[in-house]
Amino acid sequence: MKFFIDTANLSDIKEAYALGVLDGVTTNPSLMAKEGITGESNIINHYLKICELVDGDVSAEVISTNFEGMVSEGEKLAGLHPQIVVKIPMIKDGIKAIKYFSDKGIRTNCTLVFSAGQALLAAKAGATYVSPFIGRLDDISTDGLKLIEEIRLIYDNYGYETQILAASVRHVMHIMNCAQIGADVITAPLSAIEGLLKHPLTDSGLATFLADYNKGNK
Ligand code: G3P
């Protein structure tokens, strides 16, 4: 399973990359705004900084909501750096744009996916990644993980190569459940990725080992 970090925060990206297990980065306009990155040229510079920090795919989201706008923005984003994957919203013109980019060999991430039907359409259009938002489904008392299961089944039934990129991942159990279901990628904040490290028995066991070592060295 690939691990992406879901942030525009450069120090979190550096820290996750230093662990040696990071495969890519996803961003969105809200994550950019959270870091105070606004305006087209600042956003573009920020994507370039992220690409310099990591090896791996970096999702860069279009703002346009019509086909022509998405194509023009997406071509510009894809031309910035070979690591860029164009992130396109799951709307009618978005599907047309994904098909257009797929035919041109430009990689895409179909975002804001909340149903298996949407994921099926994205795969048929040739999306590289599909991003179901599991945490936001959980927020409205719907089972986000069930959606990952449904998409996995559909993609396996037909051999679609679109990768399931579980997004809106909030905590360690989301990551573990996605791994068990067979999501291809999770994108999560640094806190959830680092949360995988933690176990109280590891901490107490290590403390005992170090204390015992020190006894022998007195
Ligand atoms: O990148 C999109 C997605 O991961 C957003 O997550 O926590 O805002 O629902 P969240």
pLDDT tens profile 79-89: 999 999 999 99
Of the pLDDT bands very low, low, confident and very high (cuts 50, 70, 90), residue 216 is: confident
According to CATH, what is the number of the domain 2-216?
3.20.20.70
pLDDT greater than 80 at residue 193 = yes
pLDDT tens profile 15-58: 999 999 999 999 999 999 999 999 999 999 999 999 999 999 99
pLDDT tens profile 97-138: 999 999 999 999 999 999 999 999 999 999 999 999 999 999
Residue closest by Cα to atom 4 of ligand 1: 168
Three-class secondary structure of residue 175 per DSSP: helix
Query: Any idea how long the chain is?
Result: 218
> Could you tell me the CA-to-CA distances from 77 to 47, 181, 201, 208, 215 in Å, in that order?
9, 32, 46, 52, 59
Which one of 4, 5, 6 would you pick to mutate in the ligand 1 pocket, going by the greatest count of ligand atoms within 8 A of its CB?
Answer: 6
Q: Which atom of ligand 1 is nearest to the CA of 111?
A: 2
